Structure 1
């Protein structure tokens, strides 16, 4: 009897082991639960869904992306250069005659008006020469008038009348010469401006051409700068410039091009451009180093995208547009780049929604969901910074 029970137990164990081996090899839901000796060998919670095995699989996961519409604005095609501020007019006052400085009629650094006497040289001898010439002229004039009267009465000869007239002309020319020489002893301002630092003092003897003082007209100011010759066809009179200077950080000086040198520098392969800027506050000074931004062309209603939205492939560029919840790869043509943005010249419209972040792993036609920039997996936004 005991022998029969032992055999039955062994058979039961073998059956249970075989059933377990079959179940785990086939996997959950591959067949019907196995019952041996009234025991259910399927693990708790294991389903046997024959229908679930035949259910259709779900599609690819939805990718979370950030998207933006093109920014519509003004596109400026510019070229940068370095240059120098220059006076609108500049001259160094120098005498045309040698003499002693009699008086200086200006203060250094002050404004002067056109025609204002700046320096008076000693002209005592020239004053005497002018007086002598005036006396000779008056005498010649009286003789000429007398000879005219006598000639009309046919008392004076025709020759004496001609000689009197010639003497008058000679003395008149001598007077004009004396007066012209006298004027050179008075140095005046040729136009409105600001005088610099004088190089002479009262009483000093100065020679012809010796430097006395410089005069600068600083409103407006000129800016001279060089542009590479490959931009020559794009540079035109009237174009706008924006000038900055290290001496005045954060300050812009707007201006316009008014002259272009017709000669291209063959050494530097550049053309010299001259612009005019307003300096009514007289803040800027000639000789200051300038950084110039020249606007070559302006386009209104241009479209811009963040640079990271581009998908460059060789020399071609593409972006992902969001259309109907899917990412569509679209070829675009780009223009200039500025401040982290790139101009799109072809391939988009202002109402298109373009993926700006998260496009690296996208494929054409992949389902996408546009999320805010601070989105985190799990549906929560990142917490705001402390203190806000």
Structure 2
């Protein structure tokens, strides 16, 4: 280590000497003028030329188009009609007349319970009715010939009516052993099998009418005076991305939710192919009003400024003019211009960072034509 120490000291001395020489050279007047001034002269010349040269920009026309006032919400799809079929009497299942997920018609028998007792009761009631009818006919004949009294005739008539009621009662008990579809729809997945004993009120199968669906959603109470039955809305769902479905408001709940200060609405939409299903999450866009002539510009034309101010550069006579604008709704990469511009005017959509009020501009012809075509 002692043998290397002189070498290290020598290198340090040489380095310090080099730094001192560089500092002396950099502080010489001739060197500062020769380098910085010669480099600065082209910059000044360039700055002067940039102020006079037109700035290339892209433009678009202020267009008038139809636009709707709308509000968005989320909701859930529900069946047009939905029911869980349950037996009214206890019994053993003798037959299941459907397959899971089948489409069934109104009145179609879906489940039958063992009805041997009910059939026997109906047969007995019909026999009693036959006997009562025969007795009434004989009594009528005897009464016409004045062989029986009026009270005997009335008793025979009462027995006939009781027999008829007995038949109707037995028939009703028999029909309760058959569970029928109350409306046309699609059955769900059953959890019972033939031979199962079920009590009255046990759940057998669910039936859903999905040819038409309903969508329930909520809106803030401030929209209460702007919604009404019959309004149109668009519905989208993640299960069918990129597709929208048309629906119509059917009803508005008269009660406003006091907790969330929201009003509940229900709309309906056709679903003939069954592509949408009850319980699906839905995004709803309710159209409150249609406006046929709304001025719009591309969102890229807007330039934000301090104080919540927005402006655009309008191209007129080859120069850029700064114009403060009032905006409205935004949709599909365009924004409504409520004030500040007129239809057909040109606004800058690219190159605003290089512009100032009154600066000359050069409109790129190809981009201008493209913007005008859109």
C-alpha distance in 1, partners of 2:79/2:321? 58
CA shift, 1:316, in A, is 5.4
Secondary structure of residue in 2 paired with 1:143: helix
Aligned counterpart, 2:161: 169
Q: Which of 202, 205, 214 does residue 206 from structure 2 map onto?
A: 214
Q: Which of 181, 189, 199 does residue 181 from structure 2 map onto?
A: 189
Aligned counterpart, 1:132: 124
TM-score by length of 1: 0.74
Note if contact 1:199-1:213 (Cα within 8 Å) is conserved in structure 2: yes
CA shift, 1:104, in A, is 0.8
How many equivalent pairs are there?
A: 316
Note if contact 1:72-1:350 (Cα within 8 Å) is conserved in structure 2: yes
Note if contact 2:232-2:286 (Cα within 8 Å) is conserved in structure 1: yes
The C-alpha deviation readout for 1:278-302, integer Å capped at 9, x for no partner, is 2222122211222222222222232
The C-alpha deviation readout for 1:322-378, integer Å capped at 9, x for no partner, is 3333444445432111233210133432222223344467565x2532422899xxx
Aligned counterpart, 2:36: none
Q: Which of 67, 91, 98 does residue 83 from structure 2 map onto?
A: 91
Matched, 1:275 2:251: no
Secondary structure of residue in 1 paired with 2:127: helix
Secondary structure of residue in 1 paired with 2:241: strand
Q: Which of 74, 92, 99 does residue 100 from structure 1 map onto?
A: 92
Please give the root-mean-square deviation of Cα atoms over the aligned residues, in Å: 2.5
The C-alpha deviation readout for 1:301-330, integer Å capped at 9, x for no partner, is 322112343355645554443333344444
CA shift, 1:147, in A, is 2.4
C-alpha distance in 2, partners of 1:360/1:201? 75
TM-score by length of 2: 0.77
Secondary structure of residue in 2 paired with 1:280: coil
Secondary structure of residue in 2 paired with 1:248: coil
Rg larger for: 1
For the structure 1 residues 150 and 346, does the alpha-carbon distance in structure 2 shift closer, same or farther, using more than 3 Å as the test? farther
Larger mean Cα displacement after TM superposition, 140-149 or 106-115: 140-149
Aligned counterpart, 2:25: none
Aligned counterpart, 1:43: none
Secondary structure of residue in 2 paired with 1:263: strand
Aligned counterpart, 2:18: none
Matched, 1:205 2:223: no
Q: Which of 300, 303, 309 does residue 301 from structure 2 map onto?
A: 309
C-alpha distance in 2, partners of 1:68/1:250? 28
CA shift, 1:263, in A, is 1.7
